[in-house]
Amino acid sequence: MNSTRAPRWAHPPTDWLKCNTDGAWHKERDNSGLGWICRDEKGSMIWAGARAVTKAASPILAEAEALKWSAETMTSFGYRNVIFESDSLTPVKMINGSEAVWPVLQSIIEVIRLSLSQI
């Protein structure tokens, strides 16, 4: 029998925080969900957020919105050492510049990059 295990959460380095984000989307629902959790090097929760939003147009938009919300929040709190993790590879590649930014995500990616430049 084969089993696939999700990778285990890895602690950030000392004096760093790690923010994990996620977006939830369903084609038949009126709302999408956004969430994030920020933990320290011990794995203790420092901050978290979850909210329903008017339905995002796609799953990738929900994922990008969750990343944007967490990056803006950590920036507004004045944190400087933050690692962001997402289970959505496409927006991460767009943010890092290794994939072209889709026009529908352009404004969201720009806000994320601006927030990250301040961290």
pTM: 0.88
* CATH node for 17-117: 3.30.420.10
List, in order, residues 6 or more apart from 31 with CB less than 8 Å away: 52, 53, 54, 55
Q: pLDDT by residue for the chain (119 residues), tens digit each?
A: 444 556 788 999 999 999 999 999 988 888 899 999 999 999 999 999 999 998 788 999 999 999 999 999 999 999 999 999 999 999 999 999 999 999 999 999 999 999 999 98
- Domain ranges in the chain? 17-117
Q: How far is CA 110 from CA 3, 45, 61, 106, in A?
A: 38, 28, 14, 6
Tell me if 70 sits within 8 A of 38, measured CB to CB. Answer: yes
